[in-house]
Structure 1
């Protein structure tokens, strides 16, 4: 199970992230599209460096070497332009798509891909409300890349996503909009582990 950062700053965010790692979070995707280089450096510096091997950078990729982070996420435009450049220096490369056809056509250099929105988004109003992704998974032909469900993933949708053919799930709104993010993570983690 993967957790994606809130795109904006959250109260006690670093403390929550450290606690999520303590509770067994495998990968933490850092998606802060509006952060400057200095803000990102500050953010990364506050995370215990023993967890750097579990961080995935969505922006400010040039900081990966400085912080010894070897996991990168590429947006679609970046994926098309530079995915081959990262193959030599990065051990884990992920990206995002919004339909199964794009997923099926991905080059083999990608370890994992978010496919979204699977369900109605928790953090974005009216996003993913009429998604047909669960149905389209039946057309999956790419089994070399881990397929991760994103969008509306919470306690009551995890099992359906995994039953439908996703390899993993990613939490965003379920964690960062929860009253107690750690408890919410543990509940979702229990469902994934029992699957």
Structure 2
């Protein structure tokens, strides 16, 4: 099961240093999601990451930075993604997106490496963002028929990882359960131990 950590939307000074510590603790994929940040702000953020970890980073905004920093990939927000089938923007560059319905999961997403489906549980980081209430049997069928790995997103805690696996997800996106803690690295290590 793949774990993907998504950053909080606002940039904070200690965050890049924390990300370096998270990578050193075993984090394999970091999604840098800074929806209101200018390209220069995201560039400065990436410059603070240890260069050895840049190949584990996916950006949600300012996709041109993926080439500039030789990043792992780019993420398409639902409103910005091209219609399926998605074209490969660059060989070797991972592409992901966000999905919010089982109909979307079953689309022909060629050249998509993985997708997040949300919200699976009530969100920890977005107040009032309640679980979508996907019907378990329909969810299982959609995940089985999906053309790419689908990761659960929304309210993911270490204790819920076994449930997420049983549901049929290939991985999980985590955010609030790590960044809302006093020690994000220790919180991430709890996820690692649960795996």
| Rounded Cα–Cα distance in structure 2 between residues aligned with 1:21 and 1:28 | 9
Contact preservation (8 Å) 1:30, 1:57: yes
Indicate the structure with greater helix content: 1
Which residue of structure 2 lines up, in the alignment, with residue 154 of structure 1? 157
SS state of the match for residue 93, structure 1?
A: strand
The correspondence of residues 17-32 of structure 1 with structure 2, limited to 5 A, is: 17-32=19-34
Contact preservation (8 Å) 2:108, 2:147: no
How large is the RMSD of aligned CA atoms in angstroms? 1.7
Q: 1:124 aligns with which of 123, 126, 143?
A: 126
Structure 2 unpaired stretches of 5+: none
Contact preservation (8 Å) 2:151, 2:173: yes
- Which one is further off, 134-143 or 31-40? 134-143
| Rounded Cα–Cα distance in structure 1 between residues aligned with 2:43 and 2:71 | 12
Contact preservation (8 Å) 1:5, 1:172: yes
Structure 1 unpaired stretches of 5+: none
> In 2 relative to 1, CA 176–134 (structure 1 residues): closer, same or farther, beyond 3 Å?
farther
- Which one is further off, 95-104 or 140-149? 140-149
Which residue of structure 2 lines up, in the alignment, with residue 133 of structure 1? 134
Contact preservation (8 Å) 1:116, 1:133: no
Which residue of structure 1 lines up, in the alignment, with residue 194 of structure 2? 191
User: Given the two structures, how large is their TM-score scaled by the length of structure 1?
Assistant: 0.90
> In 2 relative to 1, CA 104–81 (structure 1 residues): closer, same or farther, beyond 3 Å?
closer
Superposition deviation, residue 124 in structure 1: 1.1
Which residue of structure 1 lines up, in the alignment, with residue 68 of structure 2? 66
Contact preservation (8 Å) 1:5, 1:31: yes
Say if 2:44 is the partner of 1:42: yes
Q: Deviations over 1:153-172 (max 9, x none)?
A: 01221111111111101110
Contact preservation (8 Å) 2:97, 2:116: yes
| Rounded Cα–Cα distance in structure 2 between residues aligned with 1:85 and 1:180 | 38
SS state of the match for residue 149, structure 1?
A: strand
SS state of the match for residue 170, structure 1?
A: strand
Which residue of structure 2 lines up, in the alignment, with residue 169 of structure 1? 172
Superposition deviation, residue 90 in structure 1: 4.7
User: Given the two structures, how large is their TM-score scaled by the length of structure 2?
Assistant: 0.90
> In 2 relative to 1, CA 166–187 (structure 1 residues): closer, same or farther, beyond 3 Å?
same
